[in-house]
Amino acid sequence: MYFVSDMDTTSTLWNTLVTEIRSIGIDSPAVFGCGNFGGYLIQQNAEEYASLICLMKQYGPFKNYLEIGAASGGNLRFIHENVGFARAISFDDCSHPHSTFQDENSKSFSNKLTRFIGDSHSYEASHTLEVWVKNDKIDFAFIDGDHSALGVLQDFNMVLPYLADNALVVFHDTISIGVSIEHMPKLKPKAHFVSKHNPCGILVCELNEG
C-alpha cells in the first residue's frame, strides 16, 4: 500500500497540481474535501489525483486512453490538458446528473474522443471497444464506472484483451469499493495513492509479465 505521503509532496509539480486541481471545480467539495463546486466537476481527491498526474506525466502522453465512468468528463479534460493523448474512448451510461457537462468538458478535443453511452457491461460496449481498438491497443485505462467489486472485475475483463504490453491500468475509489486485484492475475500493483483526508483511493497497476 502506497500513501500520498510516500510521494514527494514537497515537489513543485505536485504542489502546483494540488493547487490547480483545487481551483478547477469539483463535483462535491464536501465529499472530496477541497475546492469549489462547478467547473470541471471532477470527482477526485486533489492530493491523490495530483499524485496520479505526476506518475502519468512520466509515461505520457498516451496513444490510446480509455475511461470507464466519465461522469462530467472533467477527468478526461484534465488529463488531456496535463498529460495528453492522441485519442480516447469513454464509456458512460450518462445516468449521473453532471453527465450533461461532457460536451462542454470535451469541446477542445472532441475530434479525438469516441463516446459510448450505455452500460459498460453490455455486449454493445465490448463490441464498440473491439472496433475502436482494431490493432492499436490501449496504453492507459482508467476504470471508474460501476462501483461494485464484481462490476470493476467485469470492466477490467472487457479491457484486458486490448491492453498494450506496457499499459497502465488505474482503479478509482478503491477504498469504498474494496478493489482487490487477486482475481486479476495479469496485473501487478505499481502505486496506491490514498490521502489521509477524504480518501477515495487510486490504485495504479501494470501488466504482470511473469
Of positions 63, 96, 112, 190, contacts ligand SAM by CB under 6 A? 96
Q: Check residue 74 for interaction with ligand SAM (CB under 6 A).
A: yes
Choose the binding region for ligand SAM from 28-36, 70-78, 103-111, 129-137 (rule: CB under 6 A): 70-78
The size of the interface with ligand SAM (CB under 6 A), counted in residues, is 21
C-alpha 96/C-alpha 206 separation (Å) is: 29
Q: How wide is the angle at C-alpha 88 spanned by C-alphas 102 and 186, nearest 5°?
A: 120
Q: Residue 20: is it exposed, middle or buried by C-beta count within 10 angstroms (0-12/13-18/19+)?
A: middle
- When the beta carbons of 14 and 142 are compared against ligand SAM, the nearer one is 142
What stretches of 75-146 adopt beta strand conformation (E)? Answer: 85-92, 113-117, 138-143
Q: Check residue 144 for interaction with ligand SAM (CB under 6 A).
A: yes
- CA dist list (Å): 163 to 43, 159, 160, 169: 25, 7, 5, 9
User: Binding string, 100-119, against ligand SAM, x = CB under 6 A?
Assistant: -------------------x
Query: Within positions 160 to 199, which residues make up the interface with ligand SAM, using CB under 6 A?
Result: none
- When the beta carbons of 69 and 184 are compared against ligand SAM, the nearer one is 69
Query: Within positions 14 to 53, which residues make up the interface with ligand SAM, using CB under 6 A?
Result: 42-44
For residues 27 and 103, is the Cβ–Cβ distance under 8 A?
no
- When the beta carbons of 139 and 144 are compared against ligand SAM, the nearer one is 144
Single out the residue of 143, 130, 195 nearest to residue 169, CA to CA: 143
Residues near ligand SAM, by CB under 6 A = 42-44, 69-72, 74-75, 91-93, 95-96, 99, 119-121, 144-146
